[in-house]
Structures are given as structure tokens and as C-alpha cells.
Amino acid sequence: MALKGLDIFKLTPKTNCKECGQPTCMAFSMKVAQGSVQIEQCPHMSEEALATLGEATAPPMKSIKIGVGEEEHTIGGETVLFRHDKTFVSKSLYGVSVTDANADEVLAEAAKVDYVRIGEHMYVELVNVAFEGDKSAFLSAVKKAAATGRTLVLDVQDGDAAKAALDLVKDTKPILNGANPSNYEACNALAKEYGVVLGVRAEDLDALYTTVTALEGLGNKELVLDVGGASIKDAFGNAVKIRRAALKDNDRSFGYPSIVNVAKLAPGDERLQTALASLFTSKYGSIIILEKMDYGKALGLYGLRQNVFTDPQKPMTVETGLYPINGAGENDPCAFTVDFALTYFIISGEIERSGVPVNLIIPDAGGYSVLTAWSAGKLTADSIAKFIKDEGLEAKVKNHTLMVPGKISVLKGELEENLPGWKIVIAPNEAIGLPKFLKEFVA
Amino acid sequence: MPFKHNPQVFSSSIGETVLGTGEKALTLGGENVWSLYSFDGAVKNPPAVGIEFSDQGPDRSLPGVAAAYEGAETLAELAKKAEQVPGVQFVAFRLAGSDPNGDNESVADSVAKVKEVADAISLPLVVTGSNNIDKDAELLPKVAEALQGKNALLLNAKEENYKGIAVAAVTAYGQKVSGESAVDINLAKQLNVLFSQLGIKNENLVENLGQGVVGYGFEYIISTVERVKLAALTQNDAALQIPVISPISTEAWTVKESLATEEEIPEWGSREERGIGLEVSTAVASIAAGSNAVILMHPASVATVSKLIAELV
Amino acid sequence: MKKLFDRVFDGADEMFALAQKALDETIAELGENAPVSMPNTAYHLANHLTYFKRQIMSLKDLRAAFEEDKTWNIHEPDLGSVFKTGYATFAAAEVIEACKYAKSDDPYNGEYHGHLSDAEVRELGVPLVTNDIPGFVVIHGKAPTDEEALELIKGYQARGIFVFLLGEVIAQARRLNMNMGFPVRVVAVGPDVWQVAHIISFVNRAAMIFGAVQPGERWDFDDYTFWRIHAFVNAFDPVSDLVVSCGAGAIAMGFPVITDDPKDMWPVPKSIIIQPDTKDFIETSLEARDIKLKITKVDIPVSYSSAFEGEIVRRDATRIDFDGSRFDSLEWVRMREIHEIEDHAIEIIGPDVEDFEEGERVGLGIVAEVAGKNMLTDFEPVIERNFHNFINCAEGIMHTGQRDLIRIRISKDAFNAGFRLRHIGEIVYAKIKSEYEALIDKCQVKIYTKSEDLKELRTEINKVFDTRDARLASMTDETVDVFYNCILCQSFSPAHVCIVTPERLGLCGAVSWLDAKAMNQLDPNGACQVVTKERVVDEHVGIWEDVNENVAAQSHGNLQQVTLYSIMVDPMTSCGCFECICGIETYSNGVVIVNREHTGITPLGMSFSEMASMTGGGVQTPGFMGHGKHFIASKKFMRAEGGPARIVWMPKALKELVAPKLNATAKELYGIDNYVDMIGDETITDDPEVLMNHLSEKGHPVLSMEPLF
């Protein structure tokens, strides 16, 4: 249970010294409770208070960092089983699995998937290199994989091969996914030596649990848990049971991110791998390894991931500005809606469907839907008119027709006053009515 | 040290709704564990997968679709092909031609089409009308009348037209009906309460909580389905203990990602694979959130999703 | 005068004699093994199935059944026996009709409709159950003139009421070429009284199909027909004993009989109504059967849509300017007795728009007089507040303000399109009737434009406003039996539930206890539902077991308890649309309140939006709480922590707004005069230490209160 701001406040010095950067101890405490400020930023907290807070605020699931520089990623750190309860914080990472034989082809194909959607860079973050018994082939594959600059997952249980591979890529903080109930001590030594995160696997959850507690006993808490590849059913069951044990039953020995290799669960069946990757994106896969990645899989999968890992309290927004649709130019009419990403997508999609060129104006509306933004005062005749003037849209677009979302038609009068010379037109209440409306409008 | 597994079996369960008749009848719902969590307890009726085609015919520009419907021209022939697609447990038929903003075909013509499809198949039938409130209010009762004895499911009675559709479908003609609400647990509940006030029992209902596709605000759909199922299972909220159906097909195939041709965006590759990807990801995420049935368009999506379900439960 | 019971019994005997004769003749002609059935039904002879659970297949079966019918024809002078005799009459009538159908599948040769098929039952049953057809009438006998017959039938048809005709009225309608048949919802059932059996068969089958009522369960049938089948009978003079006996059956089913025949007729409220003027049959009938007709259209010469809600009518485009700031004006919803109102009457008292100069400014009074079984005077202001939306949606009409401070402009375009004062009445009438269907049965509108009338009305309405305000002031959380919840905001804040009480309106400031009550009346399944407060845990701080249960259920388990009058222990959550937030100020042990409009920083070191981000989303944040502006001066405001004496800082504008009431509350609770002056604001300081100095200087009561934690 997260601490309330008031509980934290009781432990602060209550001096309002402002050294933490906050104007009052109360403001500081509220922000710590909210998670937007770290408790350590108060220089006057007593050791005792810090210990109390540290224990209470310690997450039930570890946040683990892998990779370096721009390719550093955080996994884990989740606090809830359902996104509506708070938010999922660390998005699932996707990787492709390579061997020496297929590395060139697989990596070249995966590299093509590289795009930005609603401010998020979509690409294959990880490369999994599988050891198949031939050390030199493995090392060759590691080299090819390392050349991509992506963070690696070394799927190798052979100590010798693992060490050789780590020698090659030790500076990039890969995951050494190789510990099992019989080799964990040696693997642990390697992971410590090279400062990398250790992946742990076992034939069942009991053995996995035993191995993890043993590793914790050796002082290693930089772990990820492999949910196994015996069967789809086992892998899913393990992923859920591990996450639930950590978050619901507060069992911190399972409070680590997971790794799921769907390439092993459905070898050769790419569509089934898409299905599995979707399943584990929804439910508790921190790292998901597929055989291949292409746009056929990525558009759905990355879209799902973007949605699942959206903070329910902070809606996704698109950038404000002028979006000409269907090749709209200065002589085409304008319309506006809000910067809430979902609304933008729906409205722009319907305008596209209509085939009618429209200049879609997106002002700052606080990321709310149309009605919410309007009732919260984030979308007013003033704010729209100001945006149009500040952005110089009156000069950019000669056609001074402005379509207003039907639900806020109440703004018509004020808009007419604020935007003299503009023709204010009421568009339909629902987006689905747009194609018909637009076609009739220009007819 | 053994791991302590705490299975989560709920004391409440989702109600069961039966579609179709005879050996091929399909039961939706009934579970008292979280969707697909067969490791917690038996999943009474695994999520079902249906295939949809419309009265406008299949999109034969997609090779996989063209192959599945090869040689089928009439609606009856199409329906027979649809029910033979591997993994299909029910057939969904969409009366796209009835849309008043489209062909605005007469009720009699639409009813004749539904009859033709219904008589051709033995799997349970799900019918989607025009999705126009006024037209459906007129059309769906006539569809229900024509399908007497089939125990079909009529989709999408909304708050504005539920009365006539529900009373005709369920009470007068013995079909099942699905309400459609707009991605909001309270609206879903309210609609179900209204059904019960008409004397319609849960066993005759399915609910469509509002559908979308991954990438397009799908988080709202996930959270709505999850919250509905949590309320049903943990709070024993009878008004929400109704199987959930997710009509994904049209949503998945009408966004840019599945509409853009290979000429328009060459780097995206095969349009067919993109559409299947969207359909599969959306279906799996819907089922993981708690949906009891998904409606898909592409035979490959149907095969993939049903295969995954078979592996899991 | 012949007693009503005797008329029923004599009529029943007549029907039984006719049935006996028909049965004997038919058996003689066809033999007792001849089959008998009605076409296209799975319910055999439905009335016999209903009453006696008999599945009649042959004339032999029919004869045996008829013997059982006779056991219901009991001449005992009690209501139960009379009703039973009425049903027996229907059964006997069915015997007569069955004999006809035993001889032919189509005994009426298309001239009359006769039996209704199951398909017809289903087709008509659906709209009856859903109220899309508001009810049906059975018209029997001969109207005074053919024209009156036609007018009556068409009157029902125009109101969407399904019409069954029996007897000579059919010939009357035919003489005037009335188009009849199932599709036009006027059915000529048959020439004689006993064809009523087909209508009763229709009703009984509807109960079995749509109500799942089981054969033989007479009380269930009665219940179903009374509550679900909105039917009634119009019987023209002369009404024979035979018709009276059928009427007994109809009344038993809950269907009133309206007649213009006063001879030997005994009026019974809601059951037998004598209406000498057949022109008033429709209104009398609808009222007797409680049938409300849906209003779907606003009858005005300009467009009506929410698209015009924000339209501004400029000075130079104005034909007439009703200006409440200069001339006495008002709008008023006034509850009346039902008999005082003529539904849909619209009266213009004084000159109309065309009688004024172009652009002239004058006064206007709109008084909507309403009545309804569920209407309360408390709802008057709730409805009144919506006049703004109602009137504004008309194209070319602008409305602002409320009560006696309104302004309405009618544009030249609207005037040229024919818009007159009557149309304001039409709008108000149509919207009140459609939006408040559950509350209002009748509505009439009076529109005043004469200054002397307006002056007088304004004096009167000001007294009403005073009464209303006094009523609101006297309403406390203790004086009401229930609270309401409001989950309007759950669409974006799914865990939040507002508990709305008389002293604590919704935190958005928009939903008062009365609003919630009215919303609940209008839509019992909607966003506002009753919250009981029977199991008190602690009334002082505001804890009730039933309130907690409601919050837990409505938040789908996210919240377990709330303390209504505390901000420290289980405070009420917020959705995010609060008018104000209060948060504890730790130096003074008091609270700071900031309203949405204030953009500056508060002594807490946080602005409104920073505080809002911590308090919204349905999460309990002890020490912080969202609330409406009007809650500040309430005696319940953080009563658990000592009440409004905890307030140490508010933005100046907010202070000024709440000062009169807050000062009065402080005077009453603590005996302090001008309490608001002790409270800090941004013109004094936004620094907590300077604020402490201010509080000390002023002797603010918070300084002597217990620490908050």
C-alpha cells in the first residue's frame, strides 16, 4: 500500500526550508507520495525516517536497468495487476532471436521496423542470441547482433561460451539469460564480474523459486525470470503466477521482470507468435522474444503496447498544430478538435475516409476529449481563437471556414465574435457522421 | 523452497448464454476464474471464435480470404465456406447493405439474405444489422421473426433502440440479443438493468462493451472489460455477469494500418499480413481482458486465435 | 335502476344461451369428433387455455370445456364472482367463435378480421410491450353519427393507439371509406359482441408469450394485463347487458370502459366512466388508463437543435428584445392540481411580437403550469433552470439568465419565418413533456407581455423564490431520509462516487440534492441513485454503514468507506471537476481553500492544478478534498475537525462570494462576527509564516484548536 502524503509529511522536518526545491514540506510530501519527487531530495530526513519510508515505499517488484546510453531500458517496477488500478510503468520490450546462420537476414528485416507513433519510437529494442552448442558460431552471432547497437539477451547456459560472449559485449550491459538450478553459482559469478543482469530459468516454478532465493542469498537482486518454454500453457501460467505472487501476495522473491521467448513456444508459426506476443504484452511479459519482426506484426503489437502502457491518469496527446488531411491546401476549409490522441485518430481517420480535403486544427486542450476539455475550460472560444491567431493560421489558410465539433456547438456565437470574418459551421456530434457531412458540405 | 501458488477462484461466476441449437450449439461464459487462467481452475467454456462475412461478399483482394471462399458466389455458398474455416465456432453475418447511409436496402431484402445464410449452416449464427439506430429498430425484429427456431444472436441493441429489438428477439421469437454500450462500465450496467426490467434474463443476453482496435485507444476497452469482469466476479454484480462479445473484424480492417495499399506505403509490406496482425493482436488482448467471444474476418486470424485458445485452456 | 351486478349476470346468461345453441347445432352438423381450432396459433383456443388449462382439439373437448365454463358463471353478488362471470362470458364467446371456425378456416370471408394469428400477436405485442404503441382501444356499438365514428378512430390513430372495432361502428367507418387493416392499426374484428373473444385471445396470448405467464395462473394474467397491456373500451350508447357482462371481464383485466350511455350505468372511478360527449372519449380514456403520449417534435417555424444553443442574436438583427434588466420579466414553473390544467393550452396574455416596434425592448413572463402524480414543488426550480437550454436551441432565439433576470431576443429572421410568442410556449411545453415525462402529466403555458401583469407576477414570484430559498435553507442532512449518489463522472474517473446531501452538493457544484432527487425520479437507473442512511455509525462526523456499502458497490470495490464531514479520515473522493479544493496548512493547523478560477500559488506552496492532480481520480487523500463552493459555509464542512473555523486562507474573490453565508455560519457556530475578515487571502500573503502572523493579529479561532494530526 502506497504511503499517503500526510504520512510522509509527519516524517519531514516541517521547516519549509525549501532546500528540496519545493516551497513547503507539505508540497514535498504530496509529490513524494505521488511519485514525482524522490524522498532523497530532502537533505534533512533522519536516517530513521528514510529507513521507515524506504521500507514502506520499496516497490514490490524490482526495476531493472539493461543496456547503456540511448539503448538503456528499464523493465519491471510494476505495482498493479490491472492498468486501471494505477498504471503499468515499464513497457514490454520486443526482441528478435538470432543464430549465426540467420542473423543477417533476421536483423536486416527487423531493422526496417523503425517509426514514431504519438511521440513514441517504435523499433526492436533487443536482440536475443541463442547458443546452440557451437561456441564460435555463437560468438559470430553475438558480434553480428552487437553491430546493431541494440541491447542483447545472451541465451546461453554454457559458462565458457557465456564468458567469451560477455568479453565481446560487456560494455553494453546485456542480459545473461543462462542461470539454472545447476549452474547458477557460476553464472552468478559471471554476471557479477561483468556487471550484467542475470536471467534465471528452471523446469518448474518451485525450482525457479529455489534458485532465485539462492541467488538472492548470494546477494544478486539484478535478475529477470524466464517463464520457460515447455508449453504455451506453462509459460503463460508461470508469467501470471510470478507477477501475481509479487504484486498480490507480496512475495518479493518473485518480484522481478519476466522474459518470454515466444520463438521457442511456437517455432516457425509467425502468426501464433504474434498472438503470443500480444498475450504477454497484455499479461506480464517484460521481455518478449520473437523469431522475426516486420510491419505485419509490429503495427498491431506496438499499437497494443502503446495502449496498455498508457497512464490512465495522463491521456496520450498529439502535437498541437495544423494537420492538412487529404492534401488540403489554403483554399480548403478548417476544422478543429482536441489534442487527445484517440480523438485525433478517430477524427482524422473519418476525414480521410470522406476524401474531402480539410485543414484539421489541433489546439492545446489538455489532452482531454472534446466535452471534457470544454467543461474543464481547456477548450474555449478564446483558446481556439488565440491558437488560430498565434499560429498565424489566418494567413496560412485563406478559406476561413471553421467546423466546430457538434457537441460543443454552444461555442458558435463566441467563436463568431472572437474570429471576425470566419464562417463557423457546426459539424456532427459523432465522428462517424463526418464522411457524410463533409461530402455534403463540399457538394 | 517450494513456491506457494494461490489460485484465484472466485465465488461468483459469469452467467452462461447458449447460441444455436443441437450438437453445434455454443455456450458462452460460465467461468469463475480469470479469462484463460486454467491454472487457477477449469475454464468452463473457453472463449469462442467466430468468422464474419457481409452481404457485400468477402474481400477477395486478400489472397487468404479469396482462397477460403473460392467458388462460393451466393450467400448460402459463402456461409457454408465460412463455417468450414478451421477453428470457427460460429458464423457472423453482417447486413452491411441495410445501412441507410449506404445502399439502404429494404428490410424484406435483408431478411431474405439472413434466411438464406441461416438455412445454409449448422453452426450458431450471429447477425449484425445496419448499426443505424432507427434502421436496426425496424430491421432486427424482422430478422428475429425470420430466424425462429435458430436461437441466433442479434448484435447491437443500444440504449436508444434496445426495447423493440430485445422484446422481439428474445421474448417474441426466442433469439438471443447483445447490448452495445460505449466503453463504460456504468453504461454497460445500465443497459443490462434495462434489459432485466423488460423481463429479459441474463441467459438470453450477451454484451458488447464497445469495440476498437489496438493502437486506437484500446486501453479504454481493456480496462472496461477488465473492470466489468472484476465487478462480476469479485462483487457478484449480477447486472454484469453476462458473457462479453468482441466484434473485432470491421474495426481491425478499417484503419489506416490495414487499409493502406502496398503501393501507398511500400515499406509496410503485405496488407493482408498487417490486417491479420491487427486482428490477432486485438482479439488476443480482448480475450486476455476477459472477452468470451471474438468475431474475426480473416480465416488466418480465426485459425491463429483458436489455436492459441486451444493451447491455453 | 337495475343493479350493475344483475346486468352482468343477465348478459352472461344471454351469452351462454347463444353459445349452447351454437355448440349443439355445430355438433349436430359435424359430429362430436370433428376437429376444432383457430388458424395459425399454437395456443389452441387461447381463452380456454388461459382460464382452464384446456387444450381443445375437437368439438367433444369443446363441449366438456363449456361445461366447466358454466361453473364460472356464478351469480353471487360479490366482486370476485362478477369478475369471474366476466371471464366466463369471454369463454362462452370463444365457444361461439370456435364453432364458426370448426366449419370454416375463414368464416368471415375477409369481410371481418376475426381471429388474430400468433404472428400478429407477436407483431403487435412487441410495440405494446415497449410502449411504442401506447395502448389499444376496443370500440363497440354505433356512434351518434358516422362522422363522429370516423373522427374518434382517426383521433386514436393519430395518437398511435391501436384500434379494434366491434359492431356497427365498422359499417359507419366503411361508409366514410376509412382505410382499415392490421398495417394501419385499425382492425375491424367482427360484427357482434362475441367476436370480442378474439381480442381477449390476443391479450391472453400476449401475456403467455411476452410475460411468460403460465396457463391457469389467473392472478398472473390479471397482473400482467393490468400493468403491461394499456387497453380500454369505448362503448357507444346503447350498452346492452351482453356488453356489460363483457365489460366486467375487461375491468377485471384492468381495462376501463368509457361510455356515453348513462341508462342503468353505475360509474366506478378508473373502471366505468360515463362521458356524455363522445368527442371527449379520447382524453377521458387516456386519462382513465394512465396513458401518456410521447412528444417527439417541437412544433415551431424555425429549426430546433443543440447546434443553435450557442448562437448569439446581435442587436441589429433583433426583432424584439425582452430585457429583464430593465423591464419586469420572469420565467416560472408552477405546480398545479391536475384538474386546473388543460394540457397543451398556450395562452398569450398581452400583445404579441408583431405588436411591438422593431428592436423594441420590453418585458416578458413565461409561466409553465404543470401537474403530475410524481411532481413535487421541489422540482419546480430544477425544471425552471432548463428553460435556458430549451429556448436557446431554437434558431434565431437567444436566451440568457434565469428566474426574474432573463433576456430573450427574437431575431428578425426568426420573426420573418413566423416565430411568435406562442412558439416559445410550444417549445416549453414540448420540452417539459418530453424531458420530464416521468414527472409531468399535463402542462399549459401562459405568456405575459403587459407591464402591469408582469409587475404583479414578479412580486408574486419573488415570494416564491423566498419560500424556495427558505426551504433549501431548512433542509439539512438530518431532515431528509435518504441521500443520493452521483456517478456522472465515472466515465473518466471510474473509482469516484459523489454522495450528495442537502448540505453538501456535488463537488462539481452542479448537482444539488434536489437535482439528484429529480434525476433519480426521471431515470431510476441513471447516474443518481438513492443512498439510504439508516444504519448510523457516527452522525457527527458523517459515517453510515449503508452509505459505505453504497460507495463500495458503486466504486466497484475501490472505496470501502467515506466520512462525509471529515477531510482527515476517509474523506470523500473527487473526480477532477471540483469547484474548490481544501488542503491542510500545517503551520496553523487549518485549511486552505482554493477555487478553480484562482491561478496563483497558495500558502501550501501549491497551485489549484497541483493540488487537483493529487486529489482527483477517485483516490482518498487524507488532508485534501475537493468540494463545491456552497459547501464552505455549511455547518457540515469538516465538522469532524471543528468546522469552518479551520479555514485560514482563501482567494479574495472566493472569500467575497461566500462571505455572507460563512459569516452567518461562524456567528451561529462560534459567536464570531465578520469571521471572513480573519481569513487570509492572496492580497495579504501566500506565505505560510506571514499568514500565521495575520491569523494571530486577527485572533483567528484556529489557533486555539486541537492539532489536526
Those chains having 3 or more beta-carbon pairs within 8 angstroms of chain A are B, C
Looking at the structure, tell me whether residues A194 and A300 fall in a common domain: yes
**Is a pLDDT exceeding 90 seen at residue C357?**
yes
Q: Specify the range with the lowest mean pLDDT, choosing from C192-206, C423-437, C501-515.
A: C501-515
A179-218 confidence digits (pLDDT tens): 999 999 999 999 999 999 999 999 999 999 999 999 999 9
State which residue of chain A sits closest to B290, comparing Cα positions: A282
Element (H, E) at C120: helix C118-130
pLDDT the model gives residue B1: 67
Residue A422 lies in a domain: yes
Q: Specify the range with the lowest mean pLDDT, choosing from A57-71, A132-146, C24-38, C154-168.
A: A57-71
| B residues 213..272 contacting A (CB < 8 A) | 213-220, 222-223, 226-227, 230, 255-257, 267-270
Cα separation, C685 vs C603, whole angstroms:
8
Q: What is the mean pLDDT of residues C521-533?
A: 86
Cα separation, B181 vs C13, whole angstroms:
57
**Is a pLDDT exceeding 80 seen at residue C307?**
no
CATH of B16-312, one of 3.30.930.10, 3.10.20.30, 2.60.120.260, 3.20.20.20: 3.20.20.20
**Is a pLDDT exceeding 60 seen at residue A418?**
yes
A125 vs B256, which has greater pLDDT?
Answer: A125
pLDDT the model gives residue A56: 66
Cα separation, C165 vs B242, whole angstroms:
44
Fold of C482-704: 3.40.1470
CA distance C126 to chain B (A): 6
Instruction: Enumerate the residues of chain B whose CB falls inside 8 A of the CB of residue C487.
Output: 186
Q: How many CB atoms lie within 10 A of CB B83?
A: 21
Which residue is it, cell 362430436? Answer: C32
CATH of C306-473, one of 3.40.720.10, 3.30.1650.10, 3.40.50.740, 2.40.37.10: 3.30.1650.10
Q: What is the pTM assigned to this prediction? A: 0.81
**Is a pLDDT exceeding 50 seen at residue C688?**
yes
Tell me if chain B has a CB within 8 Å of the CB of C126. Answer: yes
CB within 8 Å: B277 and A342: no
Nearest alpha-carbon partner for C377 in C369, C387, C366, C367: C369
| A residues 194..223 contacting B (CB < 8 A) | 205-206, 208-210, 213
Cα separation, A345 vs C127, whole angstroms:
40
State which residue of chain A sits closest to B301, comparing Cα positions: A271
CB within 8 Å: A272 and B257: no
Residue A41: give its domain's CATH number.
1.10.15.40
Task: Name the range with the highest mean pLDDT among A295-309, B185-199, C150-164, C576-590.
Answer: A295-309
Nearest alpha-carbon partner for C204 in C180, C224, C185, C176: C224
Burial of C474 (0-12, 13-18, 19+ CB in 10 A): exposed
Residue A404 lies in a domain: yes
Instruction: Give CATH for domain C4-103.
Output: 1.10.8.190
Q: List the single residue in C126, C553, C556 with the smallest CB-CB distance to B141.
A: C126
State which residue of chain B sits closest to C129, comparing Cα positions: B167
- Could you give the percent of chain A with pLDDT greater than 90? 68
State which residue of chain C sits closest to A313, comparing Cα positions: C617
CA distance B192 to chain C (A): 10
CB within 8 Å: A409 and C308: yes
CA dihedral A347, A351, A352, A356 (to 10 degrees): -170
Residue A316 lies in a domain: no
Query: What total of structural domains would you count in chain A?
Result: 3
Tell me if chain B has a CB within 8 Å of the CB of C296. Answer: no
CB within 8 Å: A271 and B276: yes
**Is a pLDDT exceeding 80 seen at residue C623?**
yes
C409-429 confidence digits (pLDDT tens): 999 999 999 999 999 999 999
Looking at the structure, tell me whether residues A168 and A48 fall in a common domain: no
Rg (chain A; Cα; Å): 26
Tell me if chain A has a CB within 8 Å of the CB of B137. Answer: no
pLDDT the model gives residue A3: 62
CA distance B255 to chain C (A): 25
Rg (chain B; Cα; Å): 19
What share of residues in chain B are helix, strand, coil (percent, to 5)? 45, 15, 40
Cβ-contact B39, B51 below 8 angstroms: no
Cβ-contact B215, B282 below 8 angstroms: no
| Side-by-side strand order, sheet with C498-500 | C498-500, C482-486, C528-532
Instruction: Enumerate the residues of chain B whose CB falls inside 8 A of the CB of residue A302.
Output: 215
Q: Which domain holds residue A392?
A: 321-442
pLDDT the model gives residue A57: 65
Mean pLDDT (chain C) is: 91
Residues 6 or more apart whose Cβ sits within 8 Å of residue C369 = C334, C335, C336, C340, C341, C443, C444, C445, C446
Looking at the structure, tell me whether residues A13 and A141 fall in a common domain: no
pLDDT the model gives residue A85: 83
C130-152 confidence digits (pLDDT tens): 888 899 999 999 999 999 999 99
CB within 8 Å: A295 and B4: no
Chosen from B111, B171, B209 to mutate, greatest number of chain C CBs within 10 A: B171
Q: List the single residue in C126, C526, C553 with the smallest CB-CB distance to B168.
A: C126
State which residue of chain A sits closest to C393, comparing Cα positions: A410
Q: List the single residue in B172, B187, B193 with the smallest CB-CB distance to C126.
A: B172
Q: List the single residue in A22, A313, A410 with the smallest CB-CB distance to C605.
A: A22
- Under the banding of pLDDT at 50, 70 and 90, the label for residue C491 is low
pLDDT the model gives residue A118: 82
Q: List the single residue in B218, B230, B274 with the smallest CB-CB distance to A304.
A: B218
C626 vs C617, which has greater pLDDT?
Answer: C626
| A residues 118..177 contacting B (CB < 8 A) | none
**Is a pLDDT exceeding 50 seen at residue A1?**
no
Residue A204: give its domain's CATH number.
3.20.20.20
Mention the CATH class of domain C118-288: alpha beta
Put residue C88 in one of left, alpha, beta given phi > 0 → left and psi -120 to 50 → alpha: alpha
Residues 6 or more apart whose Cβ sits within 8 Å of residue A44 = A12, A13, A15, A17, A19
pLDDT the model gives residue C531: 95
From A57, A72, A96, the end of a domain falls on A57
Q: Mean pLDDT for each 10-residue chunk of chain B (313 residues)?
A: 87 96 96 96 97 96 97 97 97 96 93 97 97 94 96 94 93 95 86 90 96 91 94 89 97 90 92 97 98 98 98 95
Looking at the structure, tell me whether residues A208 and A341 fall in a common domain: no
Residue ranges of domains in chain C: 4-103, 118-288, 306-473, 482-704
Cα separation, C292 vs C352, whole angstroms:
31
User: Amino acid identity of C542?
Assistant: G
CB within 8 Å: B280 and A342: no
Q: How many CB atoms lie within 10 A of CB C397?
A: 23
pLDDT the model gives residue A64: 95
Q: What is the mean pLDDT of residues C115-120?
A: 94
Tell me if chain A has a CB within 8 Å of the CB of B4. Answer: yes
Residues from C contacting A (CB-CB < 8 Å) are 306-312, 492, 494, 568, 576-577, 583-586, 596, 601, 603-606, 610, 613-614, 617, 621-624, 688-689, 709
CA distance B208 to chain A (A): 18
pLDDT the model gives residue A8: 85
Query: How many B/C residue pairs have CB atoms within 8 Å?
Result: 62
Cα separation, C478 vs C490, whole angstroms:
28
End-to-end CA distance of chain A: 60
C-alpha distances out from residue C202 to C39, C92, C228, C285, Å: 13, 16, 14, 21
Looking at the structure, tell me whether residues A298 and A367 fall in a common domain: no
